[in-house]
Chain A
Amino acid sequence: MKYFYSKYIIVESLVEEMHTLDLSDDERHHLAALVDSQLHHAILDEILSNLSEKDKELFLDQMNEDPENENIMDFLKGKVDNIEEKIRMISDQLVKELHSDVKEAKRIK
């Protein structure tokens, strides 16, 4: 599932690390779903924390209608300073954490 913020997320290092794990199709899809969903929750929290109650409703209405619509970013840019940077930072931080988790998991025998 792509979201309006997809272009600000870089998962390259994380999936490269995950690619080294021996996983079945189900396991791979499940871990991937957990990664994307964690990122989605973290990014939504960051966005909502920077919006007024009224704007939260407007934003969620737009996202529920078409989560891929890149015009949502235009709406957010008008409401929150440096929203792209905020999304980048929160996702980078989480990707780093998840990357460390994979490295840690690989050490388990």
Chain B
Amino acid sequence: MNFTSKKPYYEHLRKKWIAKHRSLANKLFEKHKEVGRQLAVGGLGGLMLLTTPGTGIMPHQNILVAGGQIQKDTDNNILLAKDLEDKIPKEMRALTKEEELEISGIVSKNTGFNVSAELEGKRLNRSYGVIGGEQHLYRFPGDNLHKHADNAADWAMYGSSGIAPGLGAWGYFAPSEVQFDDKAKMQERYYLAVQTFLAPGFAERVAEYRDFFKFRKMLVVNPQTGQSVVAVIGDAGPAEWTGKHLGGSPEVMHFLGLSKGSRKGPVLYFFMDDPEDKIPLGPVKVEENLAQI
């Protein structure tokens, strides 16, 4: 037997599941020959090539597993990155109010969203900082890491990030699993931890600021690539001593292109003016948003 991995359990599964996959694919195409062309258009023909990982044989499938977002979003956001190129400070520091105004204007123009560093007279301690990868959060009592996966690709992509031992700053996202809906699901999927406790005025009016920040929608932008994500404030942190200024859920980090290596990097983060809650959470496709204006 010619194993390519030193893990016999993996080789066993790989071979067994490729055989099962072929059998299912053959059955599908044989049984529904009359729509074979449409099945092939949908990419199913390409999936029959699934063999070994990292061989480059299944590029289409790799894109599918990633949700297709990174490549698409990178292409669509390159112009934004170019526009930001000479506006972002070379060193990591807070932006001046003039810089915030100019940069948030560029981001608004490119994305079609109305974003700003200040909203309703409130602002965070900064709008440009280092984001670090956070873990998943418990969404309702009885939640666990594996319930977060909608499919196996989700697990493969985000499962290794783990789940934080404690609750987020606002507690659970839903009081029970029965009451857990799509909105709460998306809020945990695309959450940020920001330093609410360092916001100017926070210490004087804790309750007012807490209510303002709770699930407040923000746009996060990786200025180096233009990759952008709409997210909500789902937690408070990180502590000042970490050297990081905000945190992102595993999904946020993935769609910012910062999920590999040290899982951190410089980002812009601005409040979004969306009083009717119409802007969906998740990765931003610049061209689509502009088309809707």
Residues of A bordering B, CB below 8 Å: 1-2, 6, 9, 11-16, 18-19, 21-23, 26-42, 44-45, 48-49, 53, 56-57, 60-61, 63-64, 67, 98, 101-102, 104-106, 108-109
CB nearest to A7 among chain B residues: B150
Residues on the A chain within 8 Å of B157, using CB: 29, 32
Kindly provide the distance from the CB of B79 to the nearest chain A CB, expressed in whole angstroms: 25
Contact across chains for B35 and A105 when beta carbons are under 8 A apart: no
Name the contact of B151 in the complex, choosing from A6, A19, A105 (C-beta under 8 A). Answer: A6
Compute how far the CA of A33 lies from the CA of B152 in the bound complex, rounded to whole angstroms: 7
A-B CB contacts (within 8 Å), total count: 162
Residues on the B chain within 8 Å of A9, using CB: 150-151
CB nearest to A98 among chain B residues: B17
Residues of B bordering A, CB below 8 Å: 5, 7-10, 12-14, 16-18, 20-21, 24-25, 27-28, 31-32, 34-35, 38-39, 41-42, 44, 47, 50, 52-54, 58, 61-62, 64-65, 67-68, 145-147, 149-153, 155-157, 159-160
Compute how far the CA of A92 lies from the CA of B175 in the bound complex, rounded to whole angstroms: 27
Kindly provide the distance from the CB of B275 to the nearest chain A CB, expressed in whole angstroms: 26
Contact across chains for A31 and B41 when beta carbons are under 8 A apart: no
Residues on the A chain within 8 Å of B34, using CB: 53, 56
Q: Would you call the interface of chain B mostly helix, strand, loop, or mixed?
A: helix
Contact across chains for A41 and B53 when beta carbons are under 8 A apart: no
Kindly provide the distance from the CB of A23 to the nearest chain B CB, expressed in whole angstroms: 6
Contact across chains for B9 and A108 when beta carbons are under 8 A apart: yes
Name the contact of B38 in the complex, choosing from A14, A26, A49, A60 (C-beta under 8 A). Answer: A60
Given the known inter-chain contacts A29-B156, A64-B41, A108-B12, please indicate yes or no for A11 contacting B35, CB distance below 8 A.
Answer: no
Contact across chains for A36 and B152 when beta carbons are under 8 A apart: yes
CB nearest to B8 among chain A residues: A108
